[in-house]
Amino acid sequence: MAIFKGAGVAIVTPFREDGSVNFDKLGELLEEQIAGGTDCIVITGTSGEAATLSEEEHSAVIRYTAKKVNGRIPVVAGTGSNCTETAVKLSRQAEEDGADGVLLVSPYYNKTTQEGLKVHFSDIANAIHIPAILYNIPSRTGMAINPETIVWLCRNVENIVGVKEASGNISSIATLAALGRDDVAIYSGDDDQVIPIMSLGGLGVISVLSNVAPRKVHDMCQAYLDGDVRKARDMQLDALPLIHALFCETNPIPVKEALNMMGKNVGGYRKPLVLMTEEHRELLRREMTNYGLLG
């Protein structure tokens, strides 16, 4: 069973000036997302800079989020790793910390085979009692989870329910939809492909754009789910210039800059991420203004 339908936010992790996690600010962001209609919080993912959180911080962020959200919408925690044992440990801890589900990126750097992916994801999912969403993003991990592998996992491992598709390969996603039918919950992992993927049977998006425009992303997904395809299409097309600006540099550099432009004061980044170039900052400011997020 799918964890959610509609717009999930791949939420950022705010930091203080000394680099520590700003939990008070995180609480404000969570409340704003819920008020904006967001259907699911996805914490400690790529946008949340999970790669540079210690295991203690990782657990603390998930625990705080689950407590703050308090069951109002699902909380999905990124717990993937290129080490199966580490991913098992992180996933068990996330379940203990109150997460409603986990997001599992494919192993990176050491990679594996498709058979290895089956073993890796099965071992993690079988170690927990909450649902798992796979995360297919070969541009970051160096390998794809093939459609046949995703379908096999969703059909053979009870609590693997779907996939966040950020491959950018719409033909592969169409193949996945054809093979998986109602057995695979597909979420767009690319903000510029939300409606195309929903047209293939996708249930929504795990979105970076939702950090700055939660109501619009929710309404776009809901319009499609309600059958208003024209409205959903137009909202997708209207958002494209801003979406492109939000990915003009490595995520989450632009989206954190955008939030700071909006006065959210989410802080900076952990190295090796660094500040945007001035040229890209001006591009982002212009598209934020055009989209109605800045005066």
Which of the residues are catalytic? 135, 164
* Cis before 272? omega within 30: yes
Tokens, residue 147: 């459609």
Q: Are 61 and 13 in contact (CB under 8 A)?
A: yes
Hey, what amino acid is at 3? I
How far apart CA 256 and CA 211 sit, in angstroms, is: 9
Tokens, residue 222: 């809901």
Q: What are phi and psi of 7, to 5 degrees?
A: -110, 110
Q: Are 227 and 30 in contact (CB under 8 A)?
A: no
CB within 8 Å of 269: residues ≥ 6 apart: 15, 49, 252, 253, 256, 275
Tokens, residue 176: 């996945």
How far apart CA 154 and CA 165 sit, in angstroms, is: 14
How far apart CA 91 and CA 111 sit, in angstroms, is: 19
